Structure 1
């Protein structure tokens, strides 16, 4: 899952980034409101964690402008403002949840999981195809009934492909899913993940569409 964190406190931002990446999220971090509006207009994210007290453009304005631009991504407001009026203003501007600083990182993770469940419906349906079974709730993967151990990024990649069987994903789209803007990666990193998935599952499950990208074949 790709998360956009919009937070100008360097220590808090670094702590959130480290914790969520350890959880398997792909996280991008911005520190001002104007950059956030641009990113939310131009790129796709699964979740947004938004501070209110931002430079250049405050969080409420970011949220209002982004919703007006058609943003449907779940947004969790993260702020030190604890007044009822502030919470109401954030929710009325289009926030889906509200967490007051200081907070426990475990609660933030739980709230993000809840937002994902809400977005995906009352329950996350097990994904199946080509002998693969993937349970989003437990992150358990089996192939022909046998458990398969995947790294967090292999899991993310398989989840995206299995959720959209037959769809061709460009290399850039998949790299954006797996890595944040500030993560230095080798040019063949995606190909290594594809190779490992083919080895752990079946060689012909993930097809290379020359000059375009990859797709999952699920007969």
Structure 2
């Protein structure tokens, strides 16, 4: 496994490289966004670790530019920005996870393993899942509602698929977090709310019947029958 780290703090950069090396993960590091893309052309990487506040191109710009040509390589944001809007901005442009500084290196390692595991899991070869006028093609990873294609990020698609496969059963935030991120940290729970909001805007916003519902105090589910 090999990671490319975008981090302009030389001390933290060296610490991350040393730690990942001890965990059998190779890591190259660059300190600004322009150098990032020069390095990316030289090597193949399994995951990108991006700080947001760096010189030249910032981490968000780098993330957005990566996703223009690469939809699958995991991107983990490492940043001091902790506001929910900052997380929403990162997820909107294609980040897969968001770890706030300061962080424990063990948590960083677990997040990296979870993202790499998810990126290497082959998609199930099944027919289209149909829920009312919503269609989920699990082979081609395409989603339609009322015949209109809906563009989802990889994490949005995973969340929608998990809800669909629950067949109307309510899933807690913790259950969703464990299935998508494979971790148990409370910091992931508000991330679920962010993705639920993303899905609602894309799946339900222009439709009178809402499919992605909340059961207060319990969790989220997809409407499969008449309620």
**Alignment TM-score, normalising by the size of structure 2:** 0.52
> CA shift at 1:25, angstroms?
0.9
Aligned residue-pair number = 123
Aligned equivalent of 1:107: 107
Q: Does 1:40 align with 2:54?
A: no
Residue deviations 1:120-167, cap 9 Å, x none? 228xxxxxxxxxxxxxxxxxxxxxxxxxxxxxxxxxxxxxxxxxxxxx
**Secondary structure in 2 matching 1:3:** strand
> CA shift at 1:50, angstroms?
0.5
> RCO greater where, 1 or 2, for CA within 8 Å and sep 6 or more?
1
What residue ranges of structure 1 are gaps of 5+ in the alignment? 123-219
Aligned equivalent of 2:17: 17
Aligned equivalent of 1:78: 78
2-structure distance, mates of 1:2, 1:102:
23
**Secondary structure in 1 matching 2:55:** coil
**Alignment TM-score, normalising by the size of structure 1:** 0.53
Residue deviations 1:149-206, cap 9 Å, x none? xxxxxxxxxxxxxxxxxxxxxxxxxxxxxxxxxxxxxxxxxxxxxxxxxxxxxxxxxx
The CA RMSD measured in Å over matched residues stands at 1.7
Contact 2:72 2:119 in 1 (8 A): no
Contact 2:50 2:76 in 1 (8 A): yes
